[in-house]
Structure 1
């Protein structure tokens, strides 16, 4: 294959202190109820970000059958995971907030309030005129609920779908766009503004002057999992009147918080060449195939201009129906061709119901 294919956001990595408690909370309140894999093992390939030593961990990759990306819920087992040394504000460098898509933001807002979740502030309209709000999980991660029309299947629920983007703190929007627009393909500007915004005031630092730009793709996604992953968006935010801090300064990958943003891709060599040509060298490369027990593939990492970790995964093997041992080898397929919907729906047979 001559070029790269980016099929969408595969998952957002979330470092937590209790992987099972987090999985239960996310499946109950966010519908992240299908474990694609679960593995307790040593993370031996992330040495640049784990203090130069392999670290033991327990990870669950959970997806939402309405569509969207997944959560890689990640807990250190060989050490106590650390939180940031300060309370991050909007615009600090790294993944500030995960975006979760909803068919009806108002109904999700009402549901979360009835459940007594930690909803931050009131329902507001974003600069595009769409309703939105924020909610914080028990581990202090903040999620933004946003409107989306991109769905794999719509269930009769007011729960959101999976993640469809992130708010990322950067120091320079144009510099950051060499990665997010030029390489990742977020080439369409939905809005770009500077000021103090009502829809952000419920988040720490959101009552201060900020620059923000919301980016989406102009072309539909391709690839095996594109119908499930769906459309996504990236919002870059700059703190206008203060020097931002690095959220993961003096901490390890896998510590508490949003540890990476991961894209499902095909054509790793073409992607490597493009990244290197634009100054984003792979900092981690699993070289050929890694095995996660129930899934396998090739993963790499780069850093955005401010050090935020972006992961790429070229999936080689994925469980479709684990109960009957149905695993799919993706290396023998046309990389642009989406998987049949019945195969993707079959992944839901592993759903955990409380």
Structure 2
């Protein structure tokens, strides 16, 4: 099922959470607690015909954990029913998404993460004119993945990439 391109303004302007489907909830809890420095707020399970219907599935049983960040919640979801397959995608694939964490000092965070055993997709870069940007030069980024291969990023934003946190 797909949505048509909207011709009417809906007005969704706040995000509540990002859901990340994981293979091992306990291992993902350990990873995201260490990554964010935030303890899990809640661990629970949900399922049944109503939850299945709202997701367009035949049956659903999900164990999940909630991580509350300053400006967004992360829901870590381990589907016990239906049995999950493994998504495979590159950052450039249609429909691929990633979660980006904002940091004040990218190099310091990168160094701490590397020392903790996180493998990055490549060395961090700082956006320059040569990258084809009209603005945002000075922004620093680096990409990595969680234990299940979910694409993640850290960013030290400048210019239009910087935002005011409400």
How many residue pairs end up in the alignment?
A: 158
Q: Which structure is higher in RCO with an 8 Å CA cutoff and minimum separation 6?
A: 1
Residue 300 of structure 1 corresponds to which residue in structure 2?
Answer: 142
Task: Quote the offset at 1:310 in angstroms.
Answer: 0.5
| Match among 61, 80, 83 for residue 240 of structure 1 | 80
Alignment of 1:166-315 (within 5 A): 166-189=18-41, 191-197=42-48, 198-199=50-51, 201-205=53-57, 207-217=59-69, 221=70, 231-241=71-81, 243-247=83-87, 249=88, 251-290=89-128, 291=131, 292-296=133-137, 297-315=139-157
Work out whether residues 101 and 155 of structure 2, in 8 Å CA contact, stay in contact via their aligned partners in 1: yes
Higher Rg: 1
Task: Quote the offset at 1:169 in angstroms.
Answer: 0.4
* Counterpart Cα distance in 2 of 1:26 and 1:183: 39
The structure carrying a bigger strand percent of its residues is: 1
* CA RMSD, Structure 1 to Structure 2 (Å): 3.2
Residue 153 of structure 1 corresponds to which residue in structure 2?
Answer: none
Aligned pair in 2 of structure 1 residues 271, 170: CA closer, same or farther (>3 Å)? same
In structure 2, runs of 5+ residues without a counterpart are: none
Would you say 1:318 and 2:131 are equivalent positions? no
TM-score using structure 2 length: 0.76
Aligned pair in 2 of structure 1 residues 207, 242: CA closer, same or farther (>3 Å)? closer
Q: List per-residue Cα deviations over 1:81-114 (Å, max 9, x = no partner).
A: xxxxxxxxxxxxxxxxxxxxxxxxxxxxxxxxxx
Q: List per-residue Cα deviations over 1:148-186 (Å, max 9, x = no partner).
A: xxxxxxxxxxx3323342111001122112332221234
In structure 1, runs of 5+ residues without a counterpart are: 1-20, 30-158, 222-230, 321-329, 331-337, 345-354
TM-score using structure 1 length: 0.39
Q: List per-residue Cα deviations over 1:209-268 (Å, max 9, x = no partner).
A: 211112213xxx4xxxxxxxxx21000111214542222x2x432222142111221211
Work out whether residues 60 and 82 of structure 2, in 8 Å CA contact, stay in contact via their aligned partners in 1: no
* Counterpart Cα distance in 2 of 1:233 and 1:278: 24
